[in-house]
Amino acid sequence: MYAAMEQLAAQLAENPLLYTLIALSLLLSLSWLGNWIVKRILLVALFRALRASPLGEVRQGDDLDFIARLANVVPALIISEGILYVPGLPEALVTVVSNVSRAFTVVTVAMAISHVLTLVNQLYERRPDAQNKPIKGYLQLLKLVVYVVATILMVALLLDRSPLILLSGLGAMAAVLMLIFQDTLLSLVASVQISSNDIIRVGDWVEMPQLNADGSVIDVALHTVKVQNWDKTITTIPTRRFITDPFKNWRGMQESGGRRIKRSLMIDQQSVRFLDEGEKTSLRRFRLLQDYLEQKQQEIEGWNARLQEQGRETVNTRRITNLGTFRAYVERYLRHHTQIHQDMTLIVRQMAPTPEGLPLEIYCFTATTAWVAYEGIQADIFDHLLAIIPEFGLRLFQQPSGQDMRTLARGLHAAEAA
C-alpha cells in the first residue's frame, strides 16, 4: 500500500498538470459535499427554529430562499481557502479565485440577510396591529444599508485593498452620494413621520385628487405607497407626497361608526305658502306631525294674542307654512329612522336661495360606514321625501326638459285653436 502511494506520488510529480487537475477535482467535490451537508442541516434546524419563533408560524409560500443561499457560503469558503493548496496554479490566478470566492460569500450573505428581513416583514404583517405600525419601510432601509456595506466589501476584496481606503475616498463623494440618495433620504424622513404620527395605515381609505388617487392603501414602503382605487386600478405615490401634499384620510369616518349624508332638496319658492285649516287637518294624519302641529298652533296663538287689536289683521300674525311643516317632518322622520346615527349631528336647514330654487339641506350621519349600505340608506330617505313632498303643497325645482317643452307646446296649440 505504501509502495503504491509512493508510485502514485512519483507519477504525479512527473505530470504536474494531472496533479493540478486531481487537486481541483477534489476541491470541487469537497465544496459540493459541504454544500449538500449544510443544506440538510440548515433546512431542518432553521425550519424548527422559525416554527418556534415568537414572530409566528412559518407557512407555505413564505420567503425561505435565504436558507439555500446561506448554504452556498460553505463551498465558497472552501474554495477561497482550498485554492491556496492546489499545486501548479499561477499566483495571480490563485489570488483572483480566492478574492472572487470571498466576494461571492459577501454577496450571498447580504442577499440572505435581505431575504431574512423580507420574512420578518411577512411574519410581522400577520399580527393584528401590523396595519397600525408597518415596518416595511424600515426594513427596506436596512436592506439598503446591507447592500451598501456589501458593495464596499466586495469591491475591496476584488481590488485586494482595505475597505478603509475606499471609505476614506467617500468623503469627497459626499455631495454626489447625497444627490444619488436624495429620494431615499427624503422617503426615510417621510416614513418616520408617517409612522410616528400615524398618518396612514394599510387599509385606510385615502383621497388625493391631484394624483387621481381615491381608494384603499394596500402597501406602505420606504419609497412608495400603493393605493388601489375603487375602479381596481393601482396608483403608486411617492411616500414623501403624503407629507408635502394635502390629502384626505377617511379613517376617522370609518372609526366613528357613522358616515355623513349632506344633500339638498331644491324647493320651488313659488310653492311656499301658508297652510289653511283644511290643510292643517289633513297634515294631522301624519303621526310624526301631530305633536308638532299642536305645539306650533299653541305657540302661534299665544304670540298672536299679545298683538291684541293688531292681531285682527292677518298680515301682522304668525301662521304655519307648508315649508316649515315639511322641514319639521323631515327632521322627525330622520329622528325616528333606525339607520340614522342619533348621537351625531342631525340638521335640516334652509340654505341661501339660488336661481335653481331654495335648498333644503339634510345633514345627518348613517349608523354604518359600509359603502353599499350607506348608499342604500341615503337613496331610501330621498326616495321617500321626493314622493311625500306633494302632500305639503310644495314643488321641487327642475330645469325645463323635453317633456316640459312638449307640454308647453301642446298648451300653446290648444290656446291658438280656441
The neighbouring-strand residues paired with 228 are 216, 234
Beta pairing partners, 237: 225
Place of cell 308647453: 408
Starting from the edge strand earliest in sequence, which strands make up the sheet with 358-365, in order? 260-267, 358-365, 347-350
**CB-CB contact of 364 with 344 (8 Å):** yes
Residues of the chain with CATH 2.30.30.60: 200-250
Report helix, strand or coil for 399.
coil
Residue 386: predicted pLDDT = 96
Strand 224-229's sheet: what is its strand order? 234-238, 224-229, 213-220, 205-208, 248-249
Give the pLDDT confidence score for residue 228 in this predicted structure.
96
- Could you tell me if 266 and 323 are in contact, meaning their C-beta atoms sit under 8 angstroms apart? no
pLDDT of residue 76: 80
How confident is the model at residue 54, as a pLDDT? 56
Residue 317 near residue 311, CB atoms below 8 Å: yes
Tell me: pLDDT of 75 over 90: no
Q: What is the pLDDT of residues 289-343, one digit of tens each?
A: 999 999 988 888 887 777 766 656 666 778 889 999 999 999 999 999 999 999 9
Rounded to 5°, the CA angle 213-215-219 comes to 90
What is the DSSP-derived secondary structure letter of residue 253? H
Give the residue range(s) of CATH 3.30.70.100 domains in the chain: 257-273+322-403
Q: What is the pLDDT of residue 53?
A: 59
Q: In Å, how far from its chain's centre is CA 41?
A: 41
Q: What pLDDT band is residue 413 in, cutting at 50, 70 and 90? A: low
CA-CA distance, 275 to 382, in Å (whole number)? 24
Percent of the chain whose pLDDT exceeds 90? 34
Read off the pLDDT band of 27 (50, 70, 90). Answer: confident
Whether residue 271 contacts residue 169, with contact meaning beta carbons closer than 8 Å, is answered with no
Q: Which fold has domain 257-273+322-403?
A: Alpha-Beta Plaits (3.30.70)
Number of CB atoms found within 10 A of residue 212's CB: 10
Cβ atoms 273, 283 nearer than 8 A = no
The pLDDT assigned to 368 comes to 94
Contact 166, 155 (CB under 8 A): yes
Q: Is residue 242's pLDDT more than 80?
A: yes
Q: Environment class of residue 221 by beta-carbon count within 10 Å: exposed (0-12), middle (13-18) or buried (19+)?
A: middle
pLDDT at 57 over 60: no
Round to whole Å and give the CA distance between 383 and 5. Answer: 103
Report yes or no: 272 and 323 within 8 Å, Cβ to Cβ: yes
Q: What is the value of pTM for the model shown? A: 0.60
* Cα 113 to Cα 107: distance, rounded to the nearest angstrom: 10
Instruction: Judge whether 407 and 415 are in contact, CB under 8 Å.
Output: no
State residue 264 phi and psi, 5-degree precision: -115, 150
Q: Which of 11-20, 36-45, 209-218, 390-399 is the least confident region?
A: 11-20
Mean pLDDT over residues 107-134, rounded?
Answer: 79
Q: Where residue 164 falls among pLDDT bands split at 50, 70, 90?
A: confident
CATH architecture assignment, domain 200-250: Roll (2.30)
> Do residues 333 and 339 make contact, with C-beta atoms less than 8 angstroms apart?
no
